[in-house]
Amino acid sequence: MNRTILITGGAGFIGSHVVRLFVNKYSNYNIINLDKLTYAGNLANLKDVEDKPNYKFIKEDICDFDAILKIFRQHAIDGVIHLAAESHVDRSIKDPFTFAKTNVIGTLSLLQASKQCWEDNFDEKLFYHISTDEVYGALKFDNTLFTEQTKYDPHSPYSASKASSDHFVRAFHDTYGLPVIITNCSNNYGPYQFPEKLIPLFINNIRRKKPLPVYGKGENVRDWLFVEDHARAIDIIFHRGKTGDTYNIGGFNEWSNIDLIKVIIKTVDRLLCNKEGESDDLITYVTDRAGHDLRYAIDSTKLKEELGWEPSLQFEEGIEKTVRWYLDNQKWMDDVTSGEYEKYYTTMYRDR
């Protein structure tokens, strides 16, 4: 079946992996990557697919409802995979308004455009909203996991804005019958992640022999999933998930920050042929993040039992692959940290 799918936030970390997967796997789909290119959007993430005939990039802000409606009509969009968001917790603490605007109003604008364009016939249409495990709040140090039934309890402005967007998505399903699916995923890692997030930031700082700022005691726990496994889950759920449902996606792979940081240090030192333990002294304990959630851990049993998805990579393999990628792609990292990447759009896309 031919389809035209709008992927929002496709120039970001996870979005670029989803765009790449869909463009390469489904030559009968038109994939439109709509992205505002904020600081987190980088078209260099998609260099390998930018000339494919089934790929198109549109620079637009999801909050601009009139522009979004026009794009829906012009391109006869029949599926949306919505990833565009402000995604970094520390930024949300400094600037909550931007998070409310992009994550709530932006999502609402996409929902409203979908409803207006599809309401005569919802058959074969789908609004797939990508959310986070952070909406569930924080777990204690015990064996509990977030399930699809866990009550929402967001703590940061970021997670509050994502929770709010999830509620709007469900409201559009319950009120107007819009076909929707929501997934809540745990922490992703892998190539092309913006180096404000723990793993790429620390890999780069070790390479440059800069301090590694560990928040609080480094005891907080996250459940890490390789980004390509997330993209594969999105593909399966987009095609076979049950409309109106929620699926949790996670790695069954919990690490305290400090243990994870030690693995990163060891791997980077080994791959750079540094002396064992050479970078241990870079660890610097700093003031904790305000409202820092203690532990996240996802139960993705529903996704495994209903749709057969499970993580494909062992963490040791995934982290080795990730560290190697950042060390082999120093130009990508240096362009991002110097701001050079922001010129890419102007030179590559101005005349298209």
Task: Determine the Cα–Cα distance for residues 283 and 150; give it in Å rounded to an integer.
Answer: 35
Cβ atoms 301, 175 nearer than 8 A: no
307 burial level (CB within 10 Å; 0-12, 13-18, 19+): middle
Which one of ligand DAU, ligand NAD, none is in contact with 36 (Cβ closer than 5 to 8 A by kind)?
ligand NAD
Binding mask 82-101 toward ligand DAU (x if CB under 6 A, else -) reads: -----xxx------------
* DSSP labels, 170-217: HHHHHHH---EEEEEE-EEESTT--TTSHHHHHHHHHHTT--EEEETT
* Radius of gyration in angstroms for the set of CA atoms belonging to the chain, rounded to a whole number: 20
Nearer to ligand NAD, 63 or 297 (CB): 63
Nearer to ligand NAD, 68 or 323 (CB): 68
Smallest distance from ligand NAD to CB 111, Å: 14
Nearer to ligand NAD, 14 or 108 (CB): 14
Among the listed residues 177, 195, 213, 244, the single contact to ligand DAU using CB under 6 A: 213
Among the listed residues 16, 38, 54, 132, the single contact to ligand DAU using CB under 6 A: 132
User: How is residue 313 written in tokens?
Assistant: 């990579």
To the query of whether residue 305 is one of the catalytic residues in this protein, the response is no
To the query of whether residue 133 is one of the catalytic residues in this protein, the response is yes
Smallest distance from ligand DAU to CB 29, Å: 26
Which one of ligand NAD, ligand DAU, none is in contact with 92 (Cβ closer than 5 to 8 A by kind)?
none
Query: Is the alpha carbon torsion for 229, 234, 237, 243 positive or negative?
Result: positive
To the query of whether residue 278 is one of the catalytic residues in this protein, the response is no
Give backbone dihedrals phi and psi of 314, rounded to 5 degrees, phi first. Answer: -70, 150
Task: Determine the Cα–Cα distance for residues 327 and 350; give it in Å rounded to an integer.
Answer: 31
Cβ atoms 169, 129 nearer than 8 A: yes
Is 257 one of the binding residues for ligand DAU (CB under 6 A)? yes
Nearer to ligand DAU, 89 or 169 (CB): 89
Which one of ligand DAU, ligand NAD, none is in contact with 89 (Cβ closer than 5 to 8 A by kind)?
ligand DAU
Among the listed residues 22, 146, 168, 296, the single contact to ligand DAU using CB under 6 A: 296
Nearer to ligand NAD, 30 or 186 (CB): 186
User: How is residue 202 written in tokens?
Assistant: 């620390």
* DSSP labels, 230-294: HHHHHHHHHHHSPTT-EEEE--S-EEEHHHHHHHHHHHHHHHTTPPTTTTGGGEEEEPPPTT---
Among the listed residues 222, 230, 232, 295, the single contact to ligand DAU using CB under 6 A: 222
> What are the catalytic residues?
133-134, 158
Contact positions vs ligand DAU (CB under 6 A) = 87-89, 132-134, 186-187, 197-198, 201, 213-215, 220, 222, 257, 289, 296
